[in-house]
Structure 1
Amino acid sequence: MPITTIAGRDIHVDDEGFLTAYDEWDADLAKQLAAQIGIDLTDAHFKVLTFLRADYAAQGETATLRRVSTLGGIPTKELFTLFPKKPAKKMAYIAGLPKPHGCV
């Protein structure tokens, strides 16, 4: 697995840059990952990220947009506002999780 350095830390990633080690993620890393794709994180973003990480820990796979909207209680429209263009992929990337199944 490739290793990249972000904010002075070595991070294990896959070929597309998604983290592969769940425990390497923290809020500071999330801010760095978000900044790399032009997103400035707010409390609303962290609500989504917290849901995603908890759901991943329980389910063993990254939640889809529908699951985040339905179980996380965050409207799909809001997800597109918070994470413009390809929200599922961006949410997973910033949350330090694998790309969701079905994402291109």
Structure 2
Amino acid sequence: MSQPKRNNEGFLENAWEWTPETASEIAREDDIDLENNHWEIISFLRGFYREHEMSPPSNRLFVKAVKEHLGEDKGNSIYLMRLFPGTPAKTACRIAGLPRPTNCL
């Protein structure tokens, strides 16, 4: 099976072609082994995208949205940075097959 087409930053061109296998492959490129905590955030992001038809537009809003849905333990920058190093919103959205957040560097 061929992998979905990606842009030069590694984001899927079509979020609806995403599969869990695609997520695992993208995560491996970032040296991330996906565990239950990762999948919880990925699932949240996929639901957010279905509901709003966009990725959380910035890291700050990503953290806030996670906090509202999953609680303070998971909705904080340190927790999310441990799971998705670098810019958590950008890394997590790429793995979740979503478009690049608009305000992430």
Aligned length: 97
Segments of structure 2 that go 5 or more residues without pairing to the other structure are 57-61
Structure 2 counterpart of 1:96 = 97
Amino acid at match of 1:40: D
* Percent of aligned pairs with the same amino acid: 33
CA distance in 2, matches of 1:69, 1:38: 25
Larger mean Cα displacement after TM superposition, 37-46 or 73-82: 73-82
Deviation at 1:22, TM superposition (A): 1.8
Indicate conservation of the 8 Å contact 2:13/2:99, yes or no.
Answer: yes
Q: Quick check: 1:28 aligned with 2:21? A: yes
Segments of structure 1 that go 5 or more residues without pairing to the other structure are 1-7
Greater relative contact order structure (CA < 8 Å, 6+ sep) = 2
- After TM superposition, the score normalised by the length of structure 2 is 0.82
Structure 2 SS opposite 1:97 = coil
Structure 1 counterpart of 2:59 = none
- Structure number with the higher strand fraction is 1
Amino acid at match of 2:4: I
User: What is the root-mean-square deviation in Å for CA atoms of aligned residues?
Assistant: 1.5
- After TM superposition, the score normalised by the length of structure 1 is 0.83
Which residue, 43, 61, 64 being the options, matches 1:66? 64
Which runs of at least 4 in structure 1 moved beyond 3 Å after TM superposition?
A: none
